[in-house]
Amino acid sequence: MMKFARDHGKTMIVSEGGMMNFTADNGATDGLEQARGALWVQRLFGLLDYRGPIPNQPGTYDLSRVITAVTYIDLDFRYGWDAVPDGTFDFPPDSTWFVDGRISRYGAARTAFCQGLAGTGFTTRCR
């Protein structure tokens, strides 16, 4: 998708991004939130500044500057999308979503996010 956008002189926006906590074997991730949050953020910024191969395509590509904006859902998901503790849409404890997706909640993720902002030329800065 990024190559298509670049080839057609277009930019992209990543909308509604949020930390995910997947494991390759669907194993439990309890207690790994700090490290997994930082890894997710590092991968996000790696995508924003991607230079390298694309599967099934010859050569390497500079796709750095294709994504020009990102919206991050910085939300405590313990009570679902509406944040109302009524049991109607709560995320289960073993969900692949971070139960609390606020970057400020995870020191390593926040550090990675601030470093990513500073290193990619975004105008928004961490406070």
Per-residue pLDDT reduced to its tens digit, 77-111: 766 666 677 766 666 655 555 667 788 888 898 99
Residue type, 84: V
- Based on DSSP, count helices (H) and strands (E) in the chain, helices before strands: 3, 4
Supply the pLDDT for residue 40. Answer: 87
Mean pLDDT of 49-76: 90
Calpha distance 62→65 (Å, rounded):
8
Task: Give yes or no for residue 24 having a pLDDT over 70.
Answer: no
Calpha distance 84→105 (Å, rounded):
20
Calpha distance 121→31 (Å, rounded):
33
Higher confidence at residue 65 or residue 125? 65
- Average model confidence (pLDDT) for the chain? 81
Higher confidence at residue 78 or residue 4? 4
Task: Give yes or no for residue 23 having a pLDDT over 80.
Answer: no
Calpha distance 101→6 (Å, rounded):
31
